[in-house]
């Protein structure tokens, strides 16, 4: 599920769960273990997080699996995605650069925002499709309006439309756009720049930066976990999951 390579003080962690790197509890556990190990290794000075699947960074939650999950299991995985992963990334004493190739949707956006910097391919696409599959992009209600403004955040979160890397850059969601073939090389080059700086100053600087920019994320994460867990048990949530699994349009109840 996770491939890791270390070279010149840079750990490259690639998600490898075909076909779309769908998020499951085992995948999140493996990802968090890889990040923790890289964070604890004094020889590693920076981390690149990318995908081993061509044209896919992460397609979001592995929805078919959730149809048979218990409420407790759903709450646990959403908590791990929304809260525990953010806590881990925030506490790492070294920078993490997301290298986005291809499509990133829903929960994949949640993974990307936990990273310190995002480099995206010019043909990468982004989106929050949760409402169309009977869910809510609840964690993004906390941070997205602060980044792009309330009207634009509402547009992205409630239309579920797909947008490209250049729009994501203009909105401030990502840091750089590069040709598709250069995403990992650009992320590695950035990681080497960070790796060449004082590890102590990078640790202190990142901790201060996280504190200054947290903007209520932790507080919002708890409410978001509860909200999403509740939505899975609603009639709309069940219909959305069923429609997704059956490859049809959902039929929403009007009352």
Contacts of 39 (CB under 8 A, 6+ apart): 47, 88, 91, 92, 93, 94
Superfamily per CATH, domain 2-245: 2-enoyl-CoA Hydratase; Chain A, domain 1 (3.90.226.10)
Q: What is the pLDDT of residue 214?
A: 85
Phi, psi of 248, rounded to the nearest 5 degrees: -135, 170
Look at residue 233 and tell me whether its pLDDT is greater than 70.
yes
Q: How many CB atoms lie within 10 A of CB 30?
A: 18
Domain boundaries, the chain: 2-245
E-strand spans in the chain?
2-7, 10-15, 46-51, 56-58, 96-100, 103-105, 117-121, 125-127, 163-164, 176-178
Contacts of 181 (CB under 8 A, 6+ apart): none
pLDDT band (50, 70, 90) for residue 66: confident
Predicted structure pTM score = 0.94
249, burial (CB in 10 Å: exposed 0-12, middle 13-18, buried 19+): exposed
Look at residue 68 and tell me whether its pLDDT is greater than 90.
no
pLDDT band (50, 70, 90) for residue 101: very high
pLDDT digits (tens, 9 = 90+) for 129-186: 999 999 999 999 999 999 999 999 999 999 999 999 999 999 999 999 999 999 999 9
pLDDT cut 90: percent of the chain above it: 89
3-state SS class at 96: strand
Look at residue 67 and tell me whether its pLDDT is greater than 90.
no
Distance set, CA 25 to CA 68, 75, 250 (Å)? 14, 11, 26
Q: Any idea which of 30-34, 82-86, 184-188, 218-222 has the lowest mean pLDDT?
A: 218-222
How many whole angstroms separate alpha carbon 191 and alpha carbon 179? 18
- The chain-wide mean pLDDT, for the chain, equals 94
Are residues 221 and 82 in contact, defined by beta-carbon separation less than 8 angstroms? yes
Look at residue 255 and tell me whether its pLDDT is greater than 80.
no
Are residues 85 and 39 in contact, defined by beta-carbon separation less than 8 angstroms? no
Q: What is the dihedral of CA 241, 245, 248, 251, to 10 degrees?
A: -20
pLDDT digits (tens, 9 = 90+) for 29-42: 999 999 999 999 99
How many whole angstroms separate alpha carbon 223 and alpha carbon 220? 5
Q: What is the pLDDT of residue 217?
A: 85
Look at residue 64 and tell me whether its pLDDT is greater than 90.
no
Q: Any idea which of 67-76, 146-155, 179-188, 238-247 has the lowest mean pLDDT?
A: 67-76
Kindly report the length of the chain: 255
């Amino acid at each position: 599920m996770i491939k890791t390579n270390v070279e010149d003080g840079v750990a490259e962690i690639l998600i490898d769960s075909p076909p779309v790197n769908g998020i499951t509890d085992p995948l999140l556990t493996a990802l968090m273990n890889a990040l923790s190990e890289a964070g604890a290794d004094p020889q590693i000075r920076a981390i690149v997080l990318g995908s081993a699947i061509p044209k896919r960074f992460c397609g979001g939650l592995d929805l078919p699996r959730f149809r048979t999950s218990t409420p407790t299991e759903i709450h646990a995985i959403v908590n791990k995605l929304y809260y525990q992963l953010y806590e881990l990334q925030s506490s790492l004493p070294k920078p993490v650069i997301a290298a986005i190739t291809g499509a990133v949707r829903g929960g994949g956006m949640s993974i990307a925002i936990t990273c310190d910097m995002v480099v995206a391919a010019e043909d990468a696409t982004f989106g929050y499709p949760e409402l169309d599959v009977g869910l809510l992009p609840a964690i993004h209600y906390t941070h997205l309006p602060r980044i792009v403004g309330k009207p634009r955040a509402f547009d992205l979160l409630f239309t579920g439309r797909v947008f490209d890397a250049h729009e994501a850059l203009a909105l401030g969601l990502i840091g750089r756009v590069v040709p598709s073939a250069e995403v990992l090389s650009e992320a590695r080059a950035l990681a080497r720049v960070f790796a060449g700086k004082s590890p102590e100053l990078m640790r202190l600087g990142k901790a201060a930066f996280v504190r200054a920019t947290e903007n209520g994320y932790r507080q919002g994460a708890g409410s978001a976990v509860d909200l999403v867990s509740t939505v899975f048990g609603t009639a709309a949530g069940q219909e959305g999951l069923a429609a997704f699994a059956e490859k049809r349009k959902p039929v929403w109840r009007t009352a």
